[in-house]
Amino acid sequence: MECNHLSQYLLNNSIGTAEVCKLLNCTRQNVDFLTKTGKIHPVLQLGNNKLFSKADIMSYRFKAENEAYAKNFEPL
C-alpha cells in the first residue's frame, strides 16, 4: 500500500520538463538555465530526465509574473 500512495502522490504532484516548459512558456534550454542558476529545483533527476514539484513551478511562475508586473507598474 505504501508504494501505491507514493506512486499516486508523484503522479499527481510531479511534472516533467515538457510540462514545465508549457507552464512557464519557455524552452527546455531555459528550464535547464533556471535549474543551473538555482531558480527552480528538480525533486528527482536521473541522467537528463528531471521531475519537478508542480507546486514549486507554479510558485516560481507566480513570483516571476508579479516581478514582471511590478517592473512595468508606474505609480501615479
Determine the straight-line distance between the first and last CA of the chain, rounded to whole angstroms: 59
CATH number, domain with residue 39:
1.10.1660.10
Confidence of residue 74 (pLDDT cuts 50, 70, 90): low
Q: Which of the pair, 60 or 3, is modelled with greater confidence?
A: 60
pLDDT at 5: 84
DSSP for the chain? Answer: -HHHHHHHHHHHHEEEHHHHHHHHT--HHHHHHHHHTTSS-EEEEETTEEEEEHHHHHHHHHHHHHHHHHHH----
Question: Could you tell me which residue, 8 or 20, shows the higher pLDDT?
Answer: 20
CB 23 within 8 A of CB 61: yes
How many structural domains comprise the chain?
Answer: 1
Residue-range definition of the domain harbouring residue 66:
2-72
Q: What is the pLDDT of residues 29-73, one digit of tens each?
A: 999 999 999 999 999 999 889 999 999 999 999 999 888 877 877
